[in-house]
């Protein structure tokens, strides 16, 4: 929806280096990579401590 709003505001914004389309594609890709690797991240609940 944000990309459509940017296009409605002015199509010339897509000609700049950091345009909404390329940024959204990059963020979606990074999000998918993070979602796939979420199981391999450490958790504070898994920490082993010594009682003593």
How many folded domains does the chain comprise?
A: 1
What distance in Å separates the CA atoms of residue 17 and residue 3, rounded to the nearest whole number?
A: 15
Phi-psi region of 44 (alpha: psi -120 to 50; beta: other; left: phi over 0): alpha
> How confident is the model over 1-52, as pLDDT tens digits?
777 787 788 778 777 777 777 888 899 999 999 999 988 888 787 777 777 6
Q: Which residue has 């940024």 as its token pair?
A: 23
Whether 16 is in a domain gets the answer: yes
Whether 51 is in a domain gets the answer: no
Whether 8 is in a domain gets the answer: yes
Q: Containing domain of residue 7, as a range?
A: 2-37
pLDDT value, residue 52: 62
């Amino acid at each position: 929806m944000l990309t459509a709003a940017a296009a409605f505001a002015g199509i010339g914004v897509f000609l700049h280096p950091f345009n909404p389309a390329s940024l959204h594609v990059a963020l979606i890709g990074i999000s998918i990579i993070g979602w796939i690797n979420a199981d391999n991240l450490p958790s504070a609940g898994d920490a082993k401590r010594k009682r003593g």
